[in-house]
Structure 1
């Protein structure tokens, strides 16, 4: 009975990526010919197949001929590649006389030289067709020259499967609320709450607040809903006095800024923290103070009230305290500000333009709608998905979509980073199942896909069908 070996070659598509399952080296001609180094590369236009036929163990009778026919096939389609003809000595003579007429002009012909090391390097190109993304590249083996490919057996080497990428449409954002925030270091005279705009660095620090507010105020797409100013004082005075300074300096700053930006007083809110112990702790923790650990322990001691805590540090570690007072206390007297605003909805065409300049104003859904105007896997499509996850780094939907783009590009390690932040929703399990498919972990993929299906994820059956092909 004629033998047939089928060589399954996984096609490495530029986009989307294909799952590759490689078996052991195929053995042809009664296990005397080894098929090695099978490589398949796909572009948008062509499929390129490369392989090596190692014939070191082949002892081919002089009057025998072997014919191997590579092809791409699935359940319904088939495309042949140039045949490989291996001739014994007499068959080589016959081929040159008139036997060549039985083969196409592009056949690859070699004479076997018995008892010598001999490897044939084979390369073929086929026009790429969409159905090939879920197809096998096979080699049919003809040991008698009968030429009937249908009657020949098969041996698996590789197979290529391209999963369906489970992109998700994000939920609509009912009201787009955004925030711009910063920190200003406004200098006040010692123990005073009067603001002098030209005092020390105040012109620069005041500009930071005013410019942030005006940037939002002057944007036709936004409406300011609140401006919060939060004042902090340092711990060197009695706590009650610091509470007075922090609160009233913040109020003074609010009144001054409000007049400059011409907003209603109801738009502003003022809060305060009497002493910024949290900020002080950060400075101490990063320092090389001689008594750093002991001072940190005192700062963390919640049984001490603030005044007692500050006095104990000052009296017990006077040298370190002087460093703290001179180097860090001034920075603890700061005003944090948050400008909250709403953003109007955008059409797809508007969103395309906003994406270029102020992507933070777009909702995830608006970004997704922009992405839908591009070809999946295209540079523009991938850039939108990358921007979405950059703007919403903790959003599970954004991370799933970013993982899908990385998988289509063949960056499986990059996809894992996003999937680690995608949670364990049915949709996330679906994406993780696709990753397992691309890694060739079929059983793990099947389990993940089944769980995703049971959880109600859409499109899972497509990938289960591909997995079973």
Structure 2
């Protein structure tokens, strides 16, 4: 019995000793474990860092009864982040972990963690704890990686809201029309014609054109006609004379307009107005302003009047016009329709003996200076189009906002005022207020694609990318801004191929960044070259990154110098940017960023 107890003690001691010696051996040989990290330098995409680790244990390293817990840790100055652990076990351990045999073995591991800016300059280490039964031992922590590339963070958050366009036209064409009717086979103007309402209106209008400072005569067109009865050569001469008489009438009326008596405290202004009036009056007498055309027999007008008349057998006459093109045959056949011709001669033909007058005028609106002044002082004196246009006359976003706010007040049912005010609030980084303005615009014009885009912009700035995408997908047809904004979302989601497609040929920093992130550093560099304002520091910085990715040190160093020359703060950024990790100890690099 005594011998049995001694044997038991010896067995326990042997067991303990073997466990301790097994752990000591593993700790001693921990440096022989091979680790590899994918990617070699960690990268941030979609605000996360994905880590892939594979490990290889050499032969005779792993004790059959051992369990090893490996914990990767990202460490930076002032903090660290432990990743999920991986458990490995020897061949004789009864558990469900990955088995590493005495002959050696491999394991693989993947994890994803949220990115924080402090991770840029960091190290990736593995900590490991081995255990045999109740005994444990820690391996020496081993560094297996450096830092995190966070180039997607260069994305400019410049989602594009869409301003609803105004329909302002400074010059509006205006036409005044009147007809002078003549007696059969006559070309003189009968006194009774002057009392016709359209002629009286025309005469008053001619006076107005010369006197109004905002009206400019562009031309006078006269179309003279004879009715399609009688000899064709007689009608040709008759219509020509009617045109001459009508043109002379307009010229005489212009000539009879007396020079107004202009008044102003400034005599120079009075002289300027008098000179302008005389210039307009002279132009009204210029033959080049007049265009006169005569038509010997107005068959087209005749057919139109017949179709719209209530004359009996009118369809028969229309059929004659369609059957015959010869004017003599037409006239003969129509006169043969005895039942209707007297009424044609009485009601239709007199309307065709005429000269049609058209006065073509440009009405010139307010000047830009006048519009912006009134928009600030008395916005209710402007039309909605003038008020919306006024906001485009300044580069001051606060003034623009004031003008659009005035539009909201003066024209509360106009959705564009609220929408455009929202756009200015976005530019001023007042997102909650912008959201309210867009909501009012939506209330006034629900489903408007421009407003849907702008709601997408608000959601983007609120970091609600799912909602932003929903709005933008409802904004088809609103403009190129929609695709640009979808491009921003694609970068945020790390869908760089999609971002490149959405940005298309857009010449912007973000488009170039998407091309770079999609693996085309050379294409990114070329896209930067088409940006309108190439001299922005970040354009040079992105080119430097493209140079680093392609090992083009000339491109990298030259553009990094230019970037830092334009913005000294980029020196500090470059020092911690893992895109340049391979060059951190390069003397040229250090001289640029010092």
Settle same-fold status: TM greater than 0.5.
Answer: no
Q: Which bracket does the TM-score occupy, shorter chain normalised?
A: 0.3 to 0.5
Max Rg structure: 2
Q: Which has the higher helix share?
A: 2
